[in-house]
Amino acid sequence: MIPKLLLSLALALTGLPMTASAVESVPYKGRIIQVGDSPAAKQCVEMARKAIDMVEGLPSHLKMLGHAVKDLKCDPPRESGAYLDNVIGVYTMTSKTEPRGYIDFRTNPAFRSPAQFAISIVNNGIYAGWHRSYIQASHQAAADPAAREKARQLEALLSKGDLGAVARAECDFLAVTRETIQALDLGERQISAIGKSMRNRNCL
């Protein structure tokens, strides 16, 4: 276990916030995983490691997305009712002026697979790209109304404050999810299910 002083310094440098139950910072293949002290957190970090291994074997454009976020948080809620059931990991922006953010795994790892974690890591690379674009647009907003509007739209996506905007962006996530499923060779059944979702949302 990394001493608390070094852990605090490492998390400060990455922008990943300390939490009351965080007891360990685990470096793994260029990432830092903040781990809580619950059994679910320990299970989460093992799942995250296996997912990172999967990401390393993906085609270059998907691997690049999977490397976009270097900070991960495995500190699931202790109460089962606080789990997020419909998502694996959530991108959290920690700075509006620097591209700092982390993926918060708030799901129950007992009911997830490493492949699902890998897909989440890749998909959250899209959020990281929006974060960089938001910062660039914000720098230009004062002199450019178009950039100001773009920054507003991107902030709504990043904050999940505009559910309509998030829904409209879902086609991007579904397309990347389908590519990742194909690259991981997870089977035609999952590919067909994603294709059906894309058709239902007029993504195709």
Residue 112's pLDDT band, with cuts at 50, 70 and 90, is very high
What total of structural domains would you count in the chain? 1
With H, G, I as helix, E, B as strand and everything else as coil, classify residue 29. Answer: coil
Residue 50 or residue 14, greater confidence? 50
| pLDDT score recorded for residue 115 | 96
| pLDDT score recorded for residue 28 | 97
At 134, list the tokens.
């938001």
Tell me which residue has tokens 């996506």.
Answer: 157
Average the pLDDT over each of 134-143, 154-163, 187-196 and give the range with the smallest value. Answer: 154-163
The model's pLDDT over 51-92, given as tens digits with 9 standing for 90+, comes to: 999 999 999 999 999 999 999 999 887 665 545 445 799 999
- To which H or E segment does residue 192 belong? helix 188-200
Residue 54 lies in domain? 4-200
Residue 19's pLDDT band, with cuts at 50, 70 and 90, is low
| pLDDT score recorded for residue 1 | 40
| pLDDT score recorded for residue 166 | 77
Residue 157's pLDDT band, with cuts at 50, 70 and 90, is confident
Spatial contact of 75 and 35, defined as CB atoms under 8 Å apart: yes
Buried b (16+ CB within 10 A) or exposed e, 66-104: bbbbbbbbbbbeeeeeebeeeebbbbbbeeeeebbbbbb
